[in-house]
């Protein structure tokens, strides 16, 4: 049995949950994360897979529990949307980060790309928590929804469990690398945005001079 990976930064708070409750903690948080409640379901999936990489948990067990919980959470969200619809969103949505404006944007996009949204939305925060509710409210057929969400759960769990398992005892260094990468990415985006703004201002000034 390997040594459990040291959990850096905010991940450290998940260690007691996994140590004390194991697969139950994975199942509950992943389920809640997929039925509209903003909890660290994706994070605990990665950390549990990292535990599996050190022998503290079984990877097949983590994948099975997380996949079942993801599908069940999405189905609960679907039932909430199907039974409560817009009235539920307008009354309670703000408590789970689903404001009426955000719901309207999600519903408009959903109407154009329903299947793709359900399959891949788990990889996007907010959409992961709300896609089931949106699908239920929009009246997506149940069996079509179930097929799409099951495929999406398999892809999502497989991807993040693979990342965590590969990290294993190196989770700390991987986390540090991701953190640094995010900083560099934000800097790069800031520079790009500044360049685009400067270019637009220069074009406006050039067009203004040309019109005189």
- pLDDT single digits (tens) 52-63: 887 888 999 999
In a domain, 91, yes or no: yes
**Average pLDDT in the chain:** 78
Q: Please state whether 57 falls in left (phi above 0), alpha (psi between -120 and 50) or beta.
A: beta
* Domain contains 200: no
Specify the 3-state DSSP secondary structure of 35: coil
Tell whether 199 is covered by a domain. no
Indicate the number of domains in the chain: 1
Taking 50 as the threshold, does the pLDDT of residue 81 lie above it? Answer: yes
Domain interval for residue 98:
9-170
How many Cβ atoms sit within 10 Å of the Cβ of residue 28? 18
pTM above 0.75, yes or no: no
Q: Is 139 left (phi over 0), alpha (psi -120 to 50) or beta?
A: left
Q: How far is CA 183 from CA 114, 144, 195, in A?
A: 33, 40, 18
- Taking a C-beta distance cutoff of 8 angstroms, is the pair 66, 161 a contact? yes
| Inside any domain, residue 88 | yes
Of 65-79, 164-178, 184-198, which one has max mean pLDDT?
65-79
Please report whether residue 48 resides in a domain.
yes
- Rounded to whole angstroms, the Cα distance separating 34 from 179 reads 25
């Amino acid at each position: 049995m390997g040594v459990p990976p040291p959990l850096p930064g905010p991940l450290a708070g998940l260690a007691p949950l996994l140590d004390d409750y194991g697969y139950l903690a994975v199942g509950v948080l992943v389920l809640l994360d997929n039925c509209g409640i903003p909890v660290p379901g994706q994070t605990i999936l990665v950390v549990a897979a990292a535990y599996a990489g050190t022998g503290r948990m079984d990877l097949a067990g983590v994948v099975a529990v997380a996949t079942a919980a993801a599908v069940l959470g999405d189905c609960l969200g679907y039932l909430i949307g199907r039974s409560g619809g817009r009235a539920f969103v307008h009354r309670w949505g703000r408590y789970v980060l689903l404001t009426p404006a955000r719901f309207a944007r999600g519903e408009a996009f959903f109407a154009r790309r329903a299947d793709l949204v359900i399959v891949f939305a788990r990889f996007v925060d907010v959409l992961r928590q709300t896609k089931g509710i949106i699908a239920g409210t929009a009246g997506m057929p149940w069996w079509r929804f179930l097929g799409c969400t099951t495929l999406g759960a398999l892809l999502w769990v497989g991807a993040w469990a693979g990342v965590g398992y590969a990290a294993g005892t190196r989770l700390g260094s991987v986390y540090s690398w991701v953190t640094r990468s995010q900083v560099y990415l934000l800097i790069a985006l800031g520079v790009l945005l500044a360049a685009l703004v400067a270019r637009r201002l220069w074009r406006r000034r050039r067009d203004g001079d040309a019109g005189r």
